[in-house]
Amino acid sequence: MDGDELTGRRTAATSALAARYLARPNATHLLIIGSGRIARELAITHRDARPGLTRISVWSRSPERAVALADSLRAADLPADSVTDLALAASQADMISAATLSTEPLLQRAWIRPGTHLDLVGAFRPGMREADDSLVAASRVVCDTRAGVLAEADDVRVPIERGLLPVEQIYELAELCRGDAPGRQHADEITLFKSVGAALEDLAAAIVVYEGLQSA
């Protein structure tokens, strides 16, 4: 198994699973922020899990790379286009999936309309940010692993340290899947899934691949 391929696919699959509980069922517009390998996996996997998506917008600090990714997605029969105005695209999207290495918050609370679901899978180590404090504080926050996010994800850790986000209001995705914590509470709620990745996710994905090959 190729480690990078496995990680890319399980990262996107985890985000799609979180969106099942947190995004509005009638979401039709996905904004992808970033233009790398993970960004492409996120676009494909979210669309596979949610056929009702009718528009996928792609924004990148490099407009040329955004165009290239959108072209690649259209070649794979996805309804993709590239955009240059991040604020406008973010204000129109139902779901926003970010996969960047940004060290400054890209998404601002003022841009985000009620009911939006945020999927932040970049900014996976201290010093990186994809959303500002007020946006995170206004969101229902779910993470893949609480320990990992509190140790590594400044998108969540910094608002907590500044007293803007109570740590007890952060849930793990496993709690939603087990029914121990609720998913989206109402149509206007802003939800946020923060992923930093975990070795257990790679192991679970590897088991799925192995068992699939054994039964093929």
Q: At 204, which amino acid appears?
A: A
- For residues 122 and 31, the model is more confident at 31
What are the DSSP calls for 144-194, one per residue? Answer: S-HHHHHHH-HHHHHHHHTTSS-GGGEEEHHHHHHTSS----STT--EEEE
- For residues 63 and 2, the model is more confident at 63
Q: Is residue 18 part of a domain?
A: yes
Residue 209: the pLDDT is 79
Q: Is residue 216 part of a domain?
A: no
pLDDT digits (tens, 9 = 90+) for 63-85: 999 999 999 999 999 999 999 99
Distance (Å, whole) CA 196 – CA 23: 19
Q: Name the domain count of the chain.
A: 1
pLDDT band at 211 (very low <50, low <70, confident <90, very high): confident
Residue 87: the pLDDT is 98
Q: What angle do CA 183, 143, 20 make, to 5 degrees?
A: 40
- For residues 145 and 137, the model is more confident at 137
Q: Is residue 60 part of a domain?
A: yes
Residue 148: the pLDDT is 87
Nearest to 173 by CA among 202, 203, 149: 149
- Residue 181 Cα distances to 57, 140, 168, 174, 176, angstroms: 31, 12, 12, 9, 5
Distance (Å, whole) CA 59 – CA 197: 23
The two three-digit tokens of residue 15, written as one number? 């985000």
Q: Is residue 129 part of a domain?
A: yes
Residue 4: the pLDDT is 76
User: What pTM does this model have?
Assistant: 0.92
pLDDT over 90 at 212, yes or no: no
Q: Could you give the percent of the chain with pLDDT greater than 90?
A: 77
Q: Is residue 95 part of a domain?
A: yes
Any idea which of 105-109, 124-128, 148-152, 203-207 has the lowest mean pLDDT? 203-207
Mean pLDDT of the chain: 92
Looking up residue 89, the CATH number of its domain turns out to be 3.40.50.720
pLDDT over 90 at 27, yes or no: yes
Q: Is residue 173 part of a domain?
A: yes
**Sign for the pseudo-dihedral over CA of 23, 143, 40, 199:** negative
Domain enclosing residue 134, as ranges: 3-211
Q: At 184, which amino acid appears?
A: R
Residue partners of 198: CB distance under 8 A and separation at least 6: 144, 145, 148
pLDDT over 80 at 3, yes or no: no
Q: Is residue 189 part of a domain?
A: yes
pLDDT digits (tens, 9 = 90+) for 149-192: 898 899 999 999 999 999 999 999 999 999 999 999 999 999 99
